[in-house]
Amino acid sequence: MKVLLTGSAGFIGSHVAEVLAEAGHEVVGLDLRSGADVRDGAAVDRLLPGVAAVVHQAAKVGLGVDVADLPAYASVNVYGTAVLLAAMARHGVGRLVLASSMVVYGEGAYDCAEHGPVRPAARAEEDLARGRFEPRCPRCGARLSPAPIGEDAPMDPRNAYATTKLAQEHLAANWARETGGVAVALRYHNVYGPRMPRDTPYSGVAAVFRSALEAGRPPRVFEDGGQRRDFVHVRDVARANLAALVAGSPGMLAAYNVASGEPHTVGELAAALAAERGGPAPVTTREYRLGDVRHIVASSSRARRELGFIAAIGFAEGMREFAWAPLGAPEPG
Ligand code: UD1
């Protein structure tokens, strides 16, 4: 089918473009890097005739630096998605795949041995400063075990990026209900792989570590390195987008975690990359960032069941490639 891919020249978008084209789809790209802005309704109008589905990857990404970033996040991510959805309605395009993020959940899921599933509050600065990194049971203060988070977990966006990703999901659900369209939101966990944008204040940790190693500096592991994430390879993420093109139901938004199903700690990530490159060895600094969550790992079962999506690239194999893969330019906008 003919697919409009926004963000087609970006890190994830460029891999999505390759996978869609390999599967025989005709890909029409829209990207700020080639002068086309998703906020420009007339530009979107020119690209939509004949398009059967939109895959929306264009976004301002990362955690942001401070409140001065708020207008840019709201403009690109919220307003841009609104412009796109209105244009889709004008052209009768009935299918959307949206790049969302696990950041919509906030802190991951946890079990207390005594109280079962609990939602810990944000960690207190005083605890972090004393090196008490693990969240505690809000009822008894006991240490918790991290559990895989499912798509029905409550939403708890804790920064501007997360808030705008959740707003995109809500707008997509509104659009689906109003138009009878099919919307699928893919909640990416920590994506890494070739062409990941190199180290900026907006980069994910895998790119930060890779950039440090390339410059001969040790990766700096914050907290005690025991924080867990699900690092998912960008080609697997692209395959999930392909699968999402034929999923979902009219009139609603379906959301899926896109993850490897193989959680690892940030310390393990640093060690694996440093080992592949022959050092320098990581240093664990016990620094902390107030906005960081401790553990967030995904349940991949809904994506497996409903999209038939299973990640194919394991951690060891993915890190072997990523340690030496070319990084991309910092993201624009
Ligand atoms: C990241 C992305 C988020 C994206 C999500 C899912 C950023 C900044 N965050 O969230 O936008 O939606 O993945 O793909 O892009 N750390 C270090 N050393 C460093 C930097 C970070 O140890 O030099 C640690 C952090 O303290 C944290 C972990 O690595 O515990 C992950 O950090 P990061 O990749 O920045 O953010 P996420 O919260 O995982």
Q: Average pLDDT of the chain? A: 96
pLDDT value at 203 more than 90: no
- Atom number in ligand 1 closest to CA 165: 12
Answer yes or no: are the C-beta atoms of 274 and 282 closer than 8 Å.
yes
pLDDT tier at 158, thresholds 50, 70, 90: confident
Query: Angle at Cα 136 formed by Cα 283 and Cα 102, nearest 5°?
Result: 70
pLDDT tier at 62, thresholds 50, 70, 90: confident
Answer yes or no: are the C-beta atoms of 256 and 185 closer than 8 Å.
yes
pLDDT score, position 109: 96
Place of tokens 């940030």: 266
pLDDT tier at 108, thresholds 50, 70, 90: very high
pLDDT value at 67 more than 90: no
pLDDT score, position 233: 98
- Going by their DSSP bridges, the two strands 95-101 and 182-188 should be labelled as parallel
| Least trusted range by pLDDT, from 80-89, 202-211, 225-234, 250-259 | 202-211
pLDDT score, position 173: 98
Answer yes or no: are the C-beta atoms of 236 and 312 closer than 8 Å.
yes
Answer yes or no: are the C-beta atoms of 84 and 38 closer than 8 Å.
yes
pLDDT tier at 110, thresholds 50, 70, 90: very high
pLDDT score, position 64: 66
The string of pLDDT tens digits covering residues 253-299 is: 999 999 999 999 999 999 999 999 999 999 999 999 988 999 999 99
pLDDT score, position 282: 98
Answer yes or no: are the C-beta atoms of 31 and 9 closer than 8 Å.
yes
**Measured between alpha carbons, how far is 184 from 99 in angstroms, rounded to an integer?**
9
pLDDT value at 65 more than 70: no
73-93 average pLDDT score: 98
pLDDT score, position 202: 67
Alpha helices in the chain (DSSP H): 11-22, 41-47, 70-73, 80-91, 125-129, 160-179, 205-214, 234-244, 266-277, 301-302, 315-322
Report the pocket of ligand 1 as residue ranges, CB < 6 Å: 61-63, 101-103, 161, 188-191, 203-205, 208, 220-222, 227, 229, 266, 289, 292
> Which residues, 6+ apart, have CB-to-CB distance to 172 below 8 Å?
81, 85, 96, 98, 183, 185, 253
Percent of the chain whose predicted confidence (pLDDT) is above 70: 98
The string of pLDDT tens digits covering residues 29-49 is: 999 999 999 999 999 999 999
From ligand 1's centre to the CA of 137, what distance in Å? Answer: 24
Record the tokens describing residue 32, joined without a space. Answer: 């700020």
Question: Ligand 1 pocket: which of 133, 190, 192 to mutate (most atoms <8 Å of CB)?
Answer: 190
